[in-house]
């Protein structure tokens, strides 16, 4: 990273016109070093005053505040100004160190943001080089990856692309996601890779034949799979609840947030006892709906509708439940379109029935997209070679795996 920085600085200064971004950063560091020397000199003087019993605490506090005003980010100006009005020396010093802690975090965040482009640029090259070293020593290192992509190709060739939620390859660059896409085109290598990525969210935890190119990301993918499952339950509960209570009650963000908190809390251990979990969810949700309707002076549910609501909520735990299955398909379809079209295009055409979990699903979509995008950048050459042997030439039509 040290060499990369200086190489980057050289490229900037030799460019036409010259780019002085990194040079200005270096000048800023010189300024900080000068300030550090001044601070050390002041500390030596304050130490001598303290040793002779002549330490002026107000003077010390003012000195610290002046430095903080000079060094802090604009977002901390107000906090520093509040400190200037304090008279109690203990509270003042306590406040000083609190704001200094915030300033330290500001500097950490700034440094991280500044380094991120360099880290991303060189991490791809670094990971490729390290993986190639392993591959040279173990020629069979890509066996599980080959099987993973072969299964993905089989999934796409034995089922129509529309059933898998993929738009046609010809529409990728020109049209927004079509959630009801219907076409019969054969998959190209890019689609096979994307289907492979999505299959990872259905991976059997007992299956140890995980793709070698994704072993470092396995824990993250398992966490995403868990989040996807919980979002499916949450969206199903909200959809059923809204169908009984109406849009008026669900137009209240506070009420929706309350139902989300209740459902998420009760479904944390869903896998250990799905039916028992949904019994608790159905009872609590029905009570909240009854109280919510009552508070808004709306007609409460009849005994018959309440029983029907509870029954439908409990049925969400069953694998054959149509609401659960539809929500699950739409969430996976959204994630597929995130890979195919990118996040911005996918968010503009959000799938119906999922609006109540848009924030949570968008967060999951970004995590999945960023992780898979990075993986594709690193291992694209290996994927292209494997897919060249998996997909028959007549289907491939000399299409190469594309970078998102």
Asked whether residue 165 carries a pLDDT value surpassing 50, the answer given is: no
Domain boundary among 108, 136, 164: 136
pLDDT at 170: 38
pLDDT at 167: 44
Domain boundary among 136, 167, 192: 136
Domain boundary among 77, 104, 136: 136
Q: Which residue in 60, 68, 56, 67 sits closest to 43, CA to CA?
A: 60
| Separation between Cα atoms, residue 196 and residue 148, nearest integer Å | 7
Domain co-membership, 122 together with 263: no
Helical ranges in 342-392 per DSSP H: 343-348, 358-390
Question: What does the pLDDT average to over 369-391?
Answer: 91
Structure tokens at 168: 């046609």
Residues 6+ apart with CB under 8 A from 137: none
DSSP conformational letter for 65: H
Domain co-membership, 184 together with 128: no
Q: Which residue in 378, 373, 374, 380 sits closest to 343, CA to CA?
A: 373
Question: What does the pLDDT average to over 324-345?
Answer: 92
What backbone torsions phi and psi does residue 298 show, to the nearest 5 degrees?
-100, 160
Helix 253-266 crosses helix 218-245 at what angle (to 10 degrees)?
A: 130
Tens of pLDDT, residues 240-262: 999 998 888 898 999 999 999 99
- The C-alpha angle 216, 218, 223, rounded to 5 degrees, equals 130
How many structural domains compose the chain?
Answer: 2
pLDDT at 186: 52
Tens of pLDDT, residues 111-129: 777 777 776 667 888 888 8
Residues 6+ apart with CB under 8 A from 192: 149, 152, 153, 156, 387, 390, 391
- Its domain, for residue 255, covers 139-404
Domain co-membership, 310 together with 210: yes
187 falls in which pLDDT band (50, 70, 90)? low
Domain co-membership, 126 together with 150: no
Question: What does the pLDDT average to over 266-271?
Answer: 84
Tens of pLDDT, residues 139-163: 888 999 999 999 999 888 876 444 4
Question: What does the pLDDT average to over 213-223?
Answer: 93
pLDDT at 142: 92
Question: What does the pLDDT average to over 95-99?
Answer: 79
Domain co-membership, 7 together with 147: no
Question: Which of 74-83, 92-101, 194-203, 390-399 shows the highest mean pLDDT?
Answer: 194-203
Domain co-membership, 105 together with 204: no
Structure tokens at 71: 């060094």
Tens of pLDDT, residues 269-309: 787 788 899 999 999 999 999 999 999 998 999 999 999 99
Helical ranges in 72-142 per DSSP H: 77-84, 89-137
Q: What is the mean pLDDT of the chain?
A: 81
Structure tokens at 30: 């010189």
Q: Which residue has the tokens 């824990």?
A: 219
Tens of pLDDT, residues 307-329: 999 999 999 988 889 999 999 99
pLDDT at 293: 92
- 63 or 353: which leads in pLDDT: 353
């Amino acid at each position: 990273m040290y060499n990369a920085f200086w190489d980057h600085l050289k490229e900037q200064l030799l460019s036409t016109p010259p780019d002085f971004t990194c040079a200005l950063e270096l000048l800023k560091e010189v300024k900080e070093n000068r300030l550090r020397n001044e601070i050390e000199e002041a500390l030596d003087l304050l130490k001598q005053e303290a040793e002779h019993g002549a330490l002026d605490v107000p003077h010390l506090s003012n000195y610290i505040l002046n430095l903080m005003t000079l060094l802090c980010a604009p977002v901390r100006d107000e906090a520093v100004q509040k400190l200037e009005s304090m008279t109690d020396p203990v509270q003042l010093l306590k406040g000083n160190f609190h704001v200094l802690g915030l300033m330290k975090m500001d500097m950490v965040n700034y440094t991280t943001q500044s380094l991120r482009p360099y880290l991303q640029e060189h991490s791809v090259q670094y990971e490729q080089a390290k993986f190639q070293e392993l591959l040279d020593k173990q020629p069979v290192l890509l066996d599980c990856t080959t099987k993973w992509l072969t299964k993905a190709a089989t999934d796409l060739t034995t089922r129509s692309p529309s059933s898998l939620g993929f738009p046609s390859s010809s529409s990728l660059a020109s049209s927004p996601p079509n959630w009801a896409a219907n076409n019969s085109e054969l998959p190209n290598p890019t689609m096979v890779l994307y289907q492979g990525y999505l299959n990872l969210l259905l991976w059997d935890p007992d299956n140890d034949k995980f793709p070698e190119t994704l072993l470092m990301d396995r824990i993250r993918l398992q966490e995403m799979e868990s989040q996807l499952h919980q979002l499916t339950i949450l969206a199903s509960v909200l959809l059923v609840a809204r169908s009984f209570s109406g849009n008026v009650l669900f137009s209240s963000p506070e009420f929706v947030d309350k139902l989300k908190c209740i459902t998420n809390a009760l479904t944390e251990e869903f896998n250990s006892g799905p039916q028992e979990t949904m019994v608790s969810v159905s009872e609590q949700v029905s009570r909240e709906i009854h109280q919510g309707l009552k508070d808004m002076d709306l007609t409460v549910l009849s005994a018959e509708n309440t029983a029907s609501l509870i029954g439908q909520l409990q049925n969400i735990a069953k694998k054959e439940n149509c609401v659960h299955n539809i929500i699950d398909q739409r969430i996976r379809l959204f994630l597929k379109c995130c890979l195919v079209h990118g996040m911005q295009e996918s968010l503009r055409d959000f799938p119906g029935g999922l609006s109540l979990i848009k924030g949570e699903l968008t967060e999951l979509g970004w995590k999945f997209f960023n992780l898979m995008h990075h993986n594709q950048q690193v291992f694209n050459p290996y994927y292209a070679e494997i897919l060249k042997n998996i997909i028959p030439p007549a289907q491939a039509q000399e299409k190469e795996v594309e970078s998102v």
